[in-house]
Structure 1
Amino acid sequence: MNTSDAIEILKNKGYKTTGKRKDILSFFEKADGYRTAKDLIQFLEETYEGISFDTIYRNLHLYNEVGILEATELNGEKHFRMNCTSHHHHHFICKDCGKTKEIEVCPMDEVQKSLVNYEIEDHKFEIYGLCPACQSI
């Protein structure tokens, strides 16, 4: 997903696309992996002096709710990234830098064999560890 796709989603759902909202989307489009609200506020403070955490969290929650951002929890803190909508896949997530690597294998075929007569509505599969760059530090 890119900023234009995300703006279209917001418009279709009746939300305004302010300069701040576009800048938030641009931040996540350029980010390489998951980022925190703190990362975002540091980026936005350069342009919007005194921007509040309430504004940041409200928009992060909205973007996650409408499917623009994916969320995960790392080290007890929520992290976000632009939603990957091109194809079904999962992620390896570096616990230090937040970078991700796509994993094409999905464990659901095996899991479904164990859950006969259960209706599975959704799933999420993530692997956490250190990427090669963070291992060498």
Structure 2
Amino acid sequence: MNLNDAIKKLTDHGYKTTGKRKDILTYFAESDGYRTAKDLLQHLEATYEGISIDTVYRNLHLYDEIGILETTELNGEKHFRINCTHHHHHHFICKDCGKTKEISVCPMDEVESSLANYVIEDHKFEIYGLCPRCKTA
């Protein structure tokens, strides 16, 4: 999803596109990987003096709820990234820097055969470790 798609999705759901909301979307659209609420807050503080963590979390929750952002949990903390729904794939996620690498392999064929009498509604497959840059640091 790019910035224009994210803004359209926000307005399609009846939400105003304020400068602050555009800045949040731009931050994630330009980020390569998952980011925390703290990362976003630090970024926004330069422009919005006195911005509260509540404002940041409220917007992150909204974007997650309407499908603009996707989330994962790393080291006990929720991380966010722009939703990339253009095709089915999964991610390798670096536990140090949050950078992601797309994985096209999906284990669902095998899982579905072992759960023949179950209804699978959704799935998420993530691999965690260190990217080449963090591994050598």
TM-score (norm 1): 0.99
Consecutive aligned runs of 4 or more in structure 1 exceeding 6 Å deviation:
none
Match of 1:66? 66
- What is the Cα deviation at residue 86 of structure 1? 1.0
Match of 2:36? 36
- What is the Cα deviation at residue 94 of structure 1? 0.2
- What is the Cα deviation at residue 113 of structure 1? 0.7
2: CA distance, partners of 1:32 / 1:7: 19
Q: AA paired with 1:2?
A: N
Match of 1:129? 129
Matched position secondary structure for 2:35: coil
Matched position secondary structure for 1:39: helix
**How many equivalent residue pairs?**
137
Q: AA paired with 1:61?
A: H
TM-score (norm 2): 0.99
Q: What does 1:55-94 correspond to in 2, within 5 Å?
A: 55-94=55-94
- What is the Cα deviation at residue 26 of structure 1? 0.1
Match of 1:18? 18
Q: AA paired with 1:98?
A: G
Cα RMSD, aligned residues only: 0.4
CA offsets, 1:17-74, max 9 Å, x none? 0000000000000001000000000000000001000000000000000000000000
1: CA distance, partners of 2:111 / 2:50: 48
Gaps of 5+ in 2: none
Match of 1:51? 51
1: CA distance, partners of 2:3 / 2:58: 18
